[in-house]
Structure 1
Amino acid sequence: MFLIQDKETLNSCKENVITDGQFILHYPDIFKIFECLQKFFPEQLISESAAVALECENSIPSIIVLLYLLEKGYSFLLLPKEVKTSQQLDSQQPIPRFCRYRLRAESLTEEGKAVSLEDPNSFLQILKNEEWIDCDRGKNYAGKKLYMRTSGSTGTPKIAVHSHANVLSNSLNCVERLSLKGDDRVAIPVPIYHMYGLGAAFLPSVAVGASIDIQKGANLLRYLQREKEFNPNIAFMTPIFCETLLKGRKSSRAYKLTVAAGDRIREDTFGKYESHFGCLVKLYGSTEMGVIAAANPEDSLEVRLQKVGLPMSGVQMRVEENQAETNDTIGELWCHHKYGFDGYVDADGMPKHENQDSQDRWFRTKDLGRIGLDGYIEVLGRCDRSVNRDGLLTIFSDVEKAIETIEGIESVVVESHGESQRGKGLIAYCVLAKGTNISEADIRASCFNILPKRAIPDYVLIVNSLPMLPNGKVDRQKLIAMTDKQEEMNLIRR
């Protein structure tokens, strides 16, 4: 198989399973289903030269098709599974014009019965893309390609292109750094159509033949039920889900390892989580670069708390100094990844040249950080999440950490909006803990005691919850839109 490349690993994992709670799939069964798909695809006139789009969710039918496309060397784009409502039965989001077909794998038939995995006609829909154009991709990024959309958390989503070979090498990097083994039982409650869920969690787990529980639409109750039935010893989570589990689980439980990636994880959450559930490591990466760095489970708690770890094999990092900062060890992180992406394409599959983001194969991460003398990387936040105020650099994550120490604050996100007397304006969006009764004015008044003047937010806005993207990151564009709406209604107060 694409990932399991030696017979010893394949033989050792024969009794291991991949499950979604509905289907239980043993590794040898994968090859039987591949044989069925190998007959089905030619019948549908889908050649290996055709680029396709796969609507992918955390389900066995979806991952079977995903693994088959990798195994047979198809070029394909991963998309989230489209959710249909009774009012929108015929709606579907447009796919790029270079994708000739849209593939949609279902777990249930129209009659509500479980599909047969050995009958592709029962679980796999093939939809022609009416906007398809016959572009010559051979002149662009030739070979077996995986296309992935960036999250769009800081701008318009792009389509990044990866070779299958680099996807494999990226996955094996994770196997080595995280010490994944064939006898591990891995819970994946994060979407596998994102690079974190796919390249750091799912594919590395498949590579060692581990048992895997892929969870669709995971929430606390569903996760705890699946945890009880599957009994995982490794889990891949977002920081938000780590906090949810910490608050919602009444008893401690020892995991061999929990991996967290996405937004910043609070220091108090990190310590409490580790005391209740065992070793927690951070993982750092992007859609374009795959996994850039990760902590070693053997690193000390202090190191894992402050750093994201050493660069992965084949990765070099450098810091481009920020002239506004007196400490010249802080600056923008640039990455050279041997197994990174090939570039971006547009909707027609034609290369898009983002010169400002790439120089001589060095990729601009747009993250602010520092690299220690020992090579360990510390990520301080997005570059666009820091501004000059009173002529000095103000990093939003530092402001957030300080505000989180105020009693009654459950979580906070700081963003720049408008102008102020000190420079760029700052807004703090605060979610209050249950039973807390403090005002926006109270929070801002407390900021004067814990922050330097330049870092005190100009406005504080209490919100019921933070809008989230499917990958577990805060949807900052929605927060800004929320601010604009509030300004129009004159509800923002000093």
Structure 2
Amino acid sequence: MATSNVTEHLRRQALRRADREALVDGDRRWTYAELDADVDRHAAALRDGGIAAGELVGVLGRNTGTYVVELLALARLGAISVPLNWRLHPNEQAYVIDQAGITGLLYDDDFADDAARLVAATGVRTVVANGDRVVAGAGRLAALLDGQPSGVRVADAEKGPDDVHRLLYTSGTTARPKGVVHTYGNLTANHLAQVLELELTAADRILVSAPLFHVSGLEAPGLAIFVAGATMVLTPTFKAADIARIAAEERITGMVLAAQILFGLLDLDPPPDLGTLRYLLFAGVAPSVRQEVKRRLPHVRLVDTFGMTELCNGICYLDAAHEQSKLGALGAPFPGVHVRIVDEHFRPVPPGEAGEIVVRGEKVSPGYWRDDEANRRTRRDGWFLTGDVGRIDADGYLWFVDRRTDLIKSGGENIASAEIERVIARHPDVAEVAVVGVPDPTWDEVPKAYVILRDGATVTAEGLREHCRAELARYKVPKYVQIVSSLPRNDSGKVLKRSLRDAPPAAPGPADASTGSPAGSPGAADAPAPAVAG
């Protein structure tokens, strides 16, 4: 498949649609001509600041126009971007930086303290401050931009389909985040699929509310917006009221929403003005909720999907023609994507029968960065093993059956139970621990820890949460900690997590720290970032 640098689309749009609006960030607006020129200036500035082609560069910031321009500038230079999850604990961010081999870091003012810790603790050597808070040894983006001559141009680095565009770190079923490789070939395949499946045109104005460190922010449709010559509109918050206001003011035609944000929109009074909206993309919503959304927004195409970071976002979208007849299905595979359902012996199963979902195609990541063991575990004969259970009906539509058992999905974030277990197990009072996801009305699932204490232990449930807060992002800290005397096991001694997930909730008490608003649960400032594809 022929592949080029994604930023070449900006050159093309700057010629064909110079005055059309390309990017909106609050009061800041870029036409395609202005965006292309700004990407040139930033690429030259970052180059002068020490960022080189082939270098891995972490980006630590919220959804802003500067963030988008920097990602594009890094691609134009031929550097490899690594969007960093700002909700992670600095210790977790430091692990990502060291595991990836990141040597450059761009950061916003909000994360200057984290940046200072990362510079001191890791091998980062080139640092650029996007704002006014400059840590030791960092250059200032504004000064680097001021040093660029008028009309500066930077040639797009030549890229082939196997060249690495970026790494996205995702928490899976292991205790440490894994770096998913996205190649330029992956992006080319995804952008083509997004334009075709969402029927994107230059008239579209797409709202991006999912964070740009998530695949759903970057690729659903994300950068494909620029391929279509459409307009990307950013929202700085995940609040339903803000999204509704921006959608009305900016005449939004399409957007991705996490389930909790969708529920928030439905609860707004008065109802939001979504008259220009033509599609709404979301996942993990019950058919009854989907029907209610359709009743309220009969003119909107409701798009369900199955996707993962490893698949460069979704691999299927439910089409408008089958919204009702295939209610609950996730759609048929994208062009260039093959989906198969297999049994435990990797044999294809008949239509309608459940089994593991495996995928191959141009959108599928070639693997995890510097993790041969994970690649061996998840690849077989050219197929990627999702670990999820599904079925394909006689018409070729994919239906989701069950999720990977040890992965907790909380408000769009993937949380590895093994990571939490590893932290709790290091407490000197803990003998054994098992962590599972339990239902939550707001976040879908939240972590719950079942803990066996050592003889003579004095730690409390709240003390164990405090121990977790010292090492984990707040959304990973168990909302519930229950002290138990034993854990259910099978004949081989393995803990039966399904039994723990299916157990009735214990009444809150001294052994089960489950308060109305526990310190470990997401608050307004820590709400799990909206995402569709994990």
TM-score normalised to the size of structure 1? 0.69
Match of 2:255, SS? strand
8 A Cα contact 1:188 1:237, kept in partner: no
1:361 and 1:56 map into 2 onto residues whose CA distance is 36
Match of 1:201, SS? coil
- Correspondences of 1:17-166 after superposition (within 5 Å): 17-81=22-86, 93-94=94-95, 95-96=97-98, 98-105=101-108, 108-109=131-132, 120-121=144-145, 143-152=163-172, 155-166=175-186
Task: In structure 2, list runs of 5 or more residues that go unmatched.
Answer: 1-5, 110-129, 135-139, 148-160, 408-437, 451-486, 491-495, 508-513
8 A Cα contact 2:351 2:394, kept in partner: no
Match of 2:63, SS? coil
Q: CA deviation at 1:360?
A: 1.9
Match of 2:238, SS? coil
Residues 405-451 of structure 1: per-residue CA shift (max 9 Å, x gap): xxx97886599985399x765456xxxxxxxxxxxxxxxxxxxxxxx
**Structure 1 residues 260 and 153: alpha-carbon distance in aligned structure 2, compared to 1, 3 A threshold:** farther
The aligned residue for residue 365 of structure 2 is: 341
8 A Cα contact 1:257 1:279, kept in partner: yes
Residues 165-196 of structure 1: per-residue CA shift (max 9 Å, x gap): 32122122111111111111111111121111
Equivalent position amino acid for 2:281 in 1? V
Match of 1:459, SS? coil
8 A Cα contact 1:150 1:158, kept in partner: yes
Q: RCO greater where, 1 or 2, for CA within 8 Å and sep 6 or more?
A: 2
Query: Which of 8, 12, 16 matches 1:11?
Result: 16
1:270 and 1:12 map into 2 onto residues whose CA distance is 37
2:442 and 2:162 map into 1 onto residues whose CA distance is 49
Equivalent position amino acid for 2:79 in 1? Y
Match of 2:106, SS? strand
- Correspondences of 1:243-322 after superposition (within 5 Å): 243-251=263-271, 253-254=274-275, 255-261=277-283, 264-277=284-297, 278-303=300-325, 305-321=327-343
8 A Cα contact 1:415 1:426, kept in partner: no
Q: CA deviation at 1:384?
A: 1.7
1:81 and 1:412 map into 2 onto residues whose CA distance is 21
**Structure 1 residues 329 and 122: alpha-carbon distance in aligned structure 2, compared to 1, 3 A threshold:** farther
Which is further off, 46-55 or 151-160? 151-160
2:357 pairs with 1:357: no
Match of 1:167, SS? helix
* Corresponding pairs, count: 398
Match of 1:302, SS? coil
Task: In structure 1, list runs of 5 or more residues that go unmatched.
Answer: 124-140, 387-402, 429-456, 476-494
8 A Cα contact 1:235 1:259, kept in partner: yes
8 A Cα contact 1:369 1:381, kept in partner: yes
Residues 89-147 of structure 1: per-residue CA shift (max 9 Å, x gap): x9974512511111225675459xxxx99864589xxxxxxxxxxxxxxxxx9734311
Equivalent position amino acid for 2:98 in 1? P
2:10 and 2:81 map into 1 onto residues whose CA distance is 22
2:236 pairs with 1:216: yes
8 A Cα contact 1:426 1:459, kept in partner: no
2:388 pairs with 1:367: yes
Calculate percent identity across the aligned residue pairs.
19
**Structure 1 residues 32 and 327: alpha-carbon distance in aligned structure 2, compared to 1, 3 A threshold:** closer
Q: CA deviation at 1:12?
A: 3.2
CA RMSD in angstroms comes to 4.1
8 A Cα contact 1:145 1:164, kept in partner: yes
Equivalent position amino acid for 2:401 in 1? L
Match of 1:198, SS? helix
Residues 259-298 of structure 1: per-residue CA shift (max 9 Å, x gap): 114xx21222211112223221112111111134333442
